[in-house]
């Protein structure tokens, strides 16, 4: 199959400068192998990342015809468009040369805080069932494609991102570990699990079906079951969580004004912070000054909360 590989050597993603390489290779050749062959036969200066070549390490993630993919997992025949394949760097990774990115800044610096090894809690035998979440998370190749799709990283590069939070999940769900609450508290700091907006893009982007957004949601639930609703320096997540539950317990539905005020630190602090937005919302008819009322059946909802509290207290006593 005759192809032109357009390879970005200079410029930015928006204004790329390409070098074109002509190749004649079988259509089942992977894009990664195609790049390696060009580097070996045409241009030894080409810079791109890659390691295992079999979809295990995630290192060769690159933008191919505008979509981010591990280049060793796609064949030239499948991705070419009119016999052209365009290679660019991934979106959020700082580029060091051509399409080679700084892997530390892209992924490892964020992931390392959650990668503290297992701190064993004894030698109790664990079942296959208990290890299912761990095994699932260990299939993560740290390719970073979930981060590429993340709509929070889009506006906040400091957000840990789903790839790093997958590492948190891996250890937080390990039944052999003894510092689960500590890990969950660390993951609940600012830019951690509570900053995910569950847009599900990470789940859409993971090429291995690991559903990273689902894993973040499960880690939150896991935190709550451990009594961890925020990090030491991130009390707004806890306030939001508690006021949300309080509102539903009290009235049977959500009092958005009360939750917003509580999340920002109460009537005075929250009021000052939210006043401009509240005035705008009132003007546009998106908010009302009418008092929040109880819904019919609110008493039944309150009973659900009471039952939940009793059952969690029982579970804690048992464990």
* CA nearest to 33, candidates 83, 85, 81, 68: 85
Instruction: Give the number of residues in contact with ligand SF4, rule: CB under 6 A.
Output: 16
How far apart CA 268 and CA 288 sit, in angstroms, is: 19
Of 34 and 168, which CB lies nearer to ligand SF4 in the complex structure?
168
Q: How far is the CB of 210 from ligand SF4 (least distance, A)?
A: 4
Q: How far is the CB of 55 from ligand SF4 (least distance, A)?
A: 10
Of 136 and 229, which CB lies nearer to ligand SF4 in the complex structure?
136
Strands (E) in 103-149, as ranges, are none
Residue 19 sits at the vertex; the CA angle it makes with 105 and 17, to the nearest 5 degrees, is 60
Where does this chain touch ligand SF4 (CB under 6 A) — which range of 162-170, 223-231, 251-259, 286-294?
A: 162-170
Sole binder of ligand SF4 in the list 200, 208, 226, 305 (CB under 6 A): 208
Question: φ and ψ at 132, to 5 degrees?
Answer: -55, -50
Do 185 and 228 touch, CB atoms closer than 8 A? yes
Where does this chain touch ligand SF4 (CB under 6 A) — which range of 90-98, 203-211, 268-276, 297-305?
A: 203-211
Task: Give the DSSP per-residue string, 135-202.
Answer: HHHHT-----HHHHH-TTTTT-TTS-HHHHHHHHHHHHT-TTBS-HHHHHHHHTSTTSGGG----SHH
How far apart CA 208 and CA 176 sit, in angstroms, is: 25
Question: φ and ψ at 83, to 5 degrees?
Answer: 65, 25
How far apart CA 275 and CA 258 sit, in angstroms, is: 13
Sole binder of ligand SF4 in the list 5, 35, 166, 262 (CB under 6 A): 166
Of 74 and 143, which CB lies nearer to ligand SF4 in the complex structure?
143
Instruction: Work out whether 212 is an interface residue with ligand SF4 (CB under 6 A).
Output: yes
Sole binder of ligand SF4 in the list 23, 111, 150, 163 (CB under 6 A): 163
Q: Which residue has the tokens 């295990």?
A: 56
From residue 43 to residue 62, what is the string marking binding to ligand SF4 with x (rule CB under 6 A)? ---------------x----
Instruction: Work out whether 63 is an interface residue with ligand SF4 (CB under 6 A).
Output: no
Enumerate residues 6+ apart whose C-beta is below 8 A from 199.
151, 213
Q: How far is the CB of 169 from ligand SF4 (least distance, A)?
A: 9
Instruction: Work out whether 172 is an interface residue with ligand SF4 (CB under 6 A).
Output: no
- Binding positions for ligand SF4, 125-154, rule CB under 6 A: 140-146
**Residues binding ligand SF4 (CB under 6 A):** 58, 140-146, 162-163, 166, 205-206, 208, 210, 212
């Amino acid at each position: 199959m005759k192809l032109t590989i357009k390879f970005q050597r200079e410029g930015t993603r928006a204004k790329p400068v390409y070098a074109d390489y002509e190749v004649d290779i079988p259509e089942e050749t992977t894009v990664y192998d195609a790049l390696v062959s060009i580097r070996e036969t045409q241009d030894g200066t080409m810079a791109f990342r890659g390691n295992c070549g079999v979809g295990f390490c995630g290192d060769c993630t690159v933008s191919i015809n505008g979509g981010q993919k591990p280049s060793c997992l796609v064949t030239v025949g499948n991705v070419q468009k009119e016999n052209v394949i365009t290679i660019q760097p991934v979106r959020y990774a700082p580029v060091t040369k051509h399409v080679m990115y700084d892997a530390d800044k892209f992924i490892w610096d964020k992931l390392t805080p959650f990668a503290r090894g297992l701190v064993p809690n004894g030698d109790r035998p664990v079942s296959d069932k208990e290890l299912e979440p761990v095994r699932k998370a260990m299939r993560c190749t740290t390719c970073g494609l979930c981060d590429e799709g993340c709509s929070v990283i889009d506006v906040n590069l400091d957000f840990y991102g789903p790839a790093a939070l997958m590492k948190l999940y891996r250890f937080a769900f390990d039944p052999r570990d003894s510092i689960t609450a500590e890990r969950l508290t660390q993951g609940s700091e600012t830019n951690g699990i509570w900053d995910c907006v569950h847009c599900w893009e990470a789940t859409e982007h993971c090429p291995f079906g690991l559903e990273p957004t689902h894993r973040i949601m499960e880690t939150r639930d896991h935190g709550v079951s451990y009594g961890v609703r925020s990090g030491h320096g991130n009390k707004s997540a806890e306030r939001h969580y508690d006021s949300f539950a309080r509102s539903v317990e009290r009235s049977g539905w959500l009092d958005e004004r009360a939750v917003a005020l509580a999340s920002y630190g109460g009537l005075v602090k929250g009021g000052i912070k939210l006043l401009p937005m509240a005035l705008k919302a009132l003007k546009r008819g998106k908010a009302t000054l009418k008092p929040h009322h109880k819904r019919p059946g609110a008493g039944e909802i309150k009973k659900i909360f009471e039952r939940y509290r009793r059952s969690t207290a029982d579970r804690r006593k048992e464990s």
